[in-house]
Amino acid sequence: MFLKRNIRRKNGKAHSYWALVESYRENGGSRHRVVAYLGELTASQKEGWARLQKNLDGEPPADQLSMFQQSPEPEWVHVNLSGIRVEHARDFGDIWLVLLLWEKLGLRSLFDACLPQGKEAISWSTMVLILVAARFCDPSSELHIEDTWYLRTALPDLLGAPVEEINTDRLYRAMDVLLPHKDLLEQHLKERMGSLFHISFDFLLYDVTSAFFEGQAEANPKAKRGHSRDHRPDCKQVCIGLVVTTDGMPLGYEVFAGNRHDSTTLEEIVEKMEKKYGKANRIWVMDRGIASEKNLGFIRRRGGLYVVGTPKAMLRRFEKELLEKEWTQVQEGIEVRMCRGPEGDEHFVLCRSRDRREKERAIHERFVKRIREGLLKLKKQMESGHLTEKAMAERKVGKLLGQNSRAAGLFDVEVMHTPSKEKDSKKSNRPKLSISWTEKTEWKEWAALSEGAYLLRTNWEEGDPVRWWKTYIQLTHVEGAFRTQKSELKLRPIWHQLEQRVDAHILICFLAYVLWKTLEKWMSCASLGDAPRTLVEEMHRIKAVDVVLPTDTGKIIRLPCVTTPDAGQKVLLYRLGMPIPSRLQRSVVQKLAEGQICSIDFSTPLPEVSGYLPPPPPSTA
């Protein structure tokens, strides 16, 4: 026997009546027979019947409903169709993309484990995610995150982090909490990216850039004036040394004082990278500004290998080889040839580029023209008597040659006194200057021979100059990383004044760049090119909105939903294997973390995602 509930409606109100029902079999089927009508039961009566059932049948299974546990009855209301409206549009598509990348790189689980957990309302892991997401989607200041950006995103709904809890104080403290875990983060990313993309860590590309400050940064001892790559010598700066793989995936970085020379940073970087990742199979690729003789000797003593650029002056030692005709073509317009070093323990690779030759020739011609025009201007000033001091004239000549140093070696300039031809005795006593110059033929010949040529140096016994050149040319990935961080992620200018805040700001930019490169690899696997900004802007057009449904009872139903992607966005989502939820709920983030919504496979270019494949074109038969 069991209890059965019957529902009757009277005067618009539902009433529940209970009956004791017996189940029996008759004519090969199951039948029900009412034993007694119990009417409406009070809470104590329900408890008594439930206790009787437990005594007779024991504990019911976990998946079985108890006697009075009923499925919820659907509630029906009438919606005023003319009053339906959409409110509170907020950013969702680019935010959802960041969450996918964050989970795929395992950053949530890493920060949940390593960052301290206390009584804070919002975990530090969530705060770091907000900082990186803002830097990735709309890079600006922490104050901008509090006042503008966080308010117009779907993160409060997805993360359950109220708007009033996200302020500059919490964001700054999150940066301070994150900074001590920099080394652990770099090791985690190296292992994670290696497993995702099967990256080789044999070749390490290293270069240095600078980022300038707004303000005096007096509380930061690293803020110094030095060689500015941003063409802001008037501002203090810090130097950033970045190590990436040949695929451009970042491995680590260090922050140095702004007046530190590039060549003095290598030993510190090599020791830290070897401490983290070991010494075996490490081939360092560097530009000529870092590859000093001291640094190369340091790498050789540690048993390391290198492929580096050399100063332009070293080409003079290989003038004979430049005149020879035995060259190997690497690609259209680029030729290489191998030369043995004088000591025998190194190899030199001569490289010659047609495009680079045309560029350097145009630069030489422009500087030669400037010097000629400047010398003619000085000559006119001397002839008119406006320039009569030899020391002043020589200073102007030196300034002219210094401003156009790429062609200064062509000219041999001489300033001298000349006797005056004036009959007036007063004017004849006034000194007069003249200037003359000659152009060196040997400089022209060497410039024509060396334009477009550069020299590489290595102790790697590969034996193939083509591979040496291809390895060195990967340094463009480091330069591309600097451009992305400075322009797309707005690493500069730095507004923070404290040293630890500056270091934390650079770490947040580094994390955002890791997401950027991960998205770039994801797009490459999906045959979508290598322009993440275009994809981010397209995803930014997918919004989260609140659909407001007014009812006849006066109650307003508010449904947080996600806008339906258009045809072009559906193609992108299909290629990426990236589903978009239709409803905006915090539970979707938990499902995403558990892999229930999307399990991204970077090795699958065309995933089968139902509902996102665009319809086939109409038949032309």
pLDDT higher than 60, residue 513: yes
Structure tokens at 433: 């200057």
Higher pLDDT: 582 or 189? It is 189
Local confidence band at 119 (pLDDT 50, 70, 90 cut-offs): confident
Local confidence band at 150 (pLDDT 50, 70, 90 cut-offs): very high
pLDDT tens, residue by residue, 47-73: 676 676 666 666 655 544 455 555 455
Least confident range from 35-49, 412-426, 463-477, 606-620: namely 606-620
The pLDDT assigned to 375 comes to 93
d(CA 621, CA 182): 62
d(CA 299, CA 306): 8
Local confidence band at 81 (pLDDT 50, 70, 90 cut-offs): confident
Section 133-152 average pLDDT: 94
Q: Indicate the domain borders of the chain.
A: 2-57, 78-182+498-616, 183-348+454-493, 357-450
338: nearest Cα among 462, 451, 452, 445 = 462
Least confident range from 24-28, 225-229, 465-469, 539-543: namely 24-28
- Which residue stretches of 430-491 are H helix? 441-450, 465-472, 476-483
Section 258-277 average pLDDT: 89
Higher pLDDT: 41 or 508? It is 508
- The answer to whether 418 touches 428, Cβ cutoff 8 Å, is no
Section 444-463 average pLDDT: 87
**Dihedral of the alpha carbons of 204, 212, 494, 477, in degrees to the nearest 10:** -20
Question: Between 3.40.50.300, 3.40.50.620, 2.60.120.10, 3.90.350.10, what CATH number should domain 183-348+454-493 receive?
Answer: 3.90.350.10
Q: What would the 3-class secondary structure string for 292-336 be? A: CHHHHHHHHHCCCEEEEECCHHHHHHHHHHHHCCCCEEEECCEEE
pLDDT higher than 50, residue 267: yes
CB burial class (10 A; 0-12, 13-18, 19+) of residue 402? exposed
Instruction: Count the neighbouring beta carbons within 10 Å of the beta carbon of residue 243.
Output: 22
Instruction: Count the neighbouring beta carbons within 10 Å of the beta carbon of residue 537.
Output: 13
Residue 353's SS3 state is strand
The pLDDT assigned to 223 comes to 94
The pLDDT assigned to 75 comes to 63
- The answer to whether 444 touches 450, Cβ cutoff 8 Å, is no
The pLDDT assigned to 615 comes to 44
> What secondary structure does DSSP assign to 116-168, as a single string?
---S-SS-HHHHHHHHHHHHHHS---HHHIIIIIGGGBSHHHHH---GGG--H
602: nearest Cα among 249, 280, 285 = 249
Local confidence band at 387 (pLDDT 50, 70, 90 cut-offs): confident
- The answer to whether 575 touches 527, Cβ cutoff 8 Å, is yes
The pLDDT assigned to 618 comes to 45
Structure tokens at 23: 């189940």
State the chain's mean pLDDT as an integer: 84
Q: Which helix (H) or strand (E) holds 176?
A: helix 168-178
Least confident range from 103-107, 180-184, 337-341, 494-498: namely 337-341
pLDDT higher than 70, residue 373: yes
Section 275-280 average pLDDT: 76
> Rounded to whole angstroms, what are the CA distances from 459 to 208, 270, 453, 504, 614?
22, 17, 21, 37, 54
Least confident range from 56-65, 126-135, 184-193: namely 56-65
Local confidence band at 617 (pLDDT 50, 70, 90 cut-offs): very low
The pLDDT assigned to 135 comes to 95
- The answer to whether 185 touches 123, Cβ cutoff 8 Å, is no
Strands 13-26 vs 2-10: parallel, antiparallel or unpaired: antiparallel
Local confidence band at 614 (pLDDT 50, 70, 90 cut-offs): very low
Residue 465's SS3 state is helix
The pLDDT assigned to 374 comes to 93
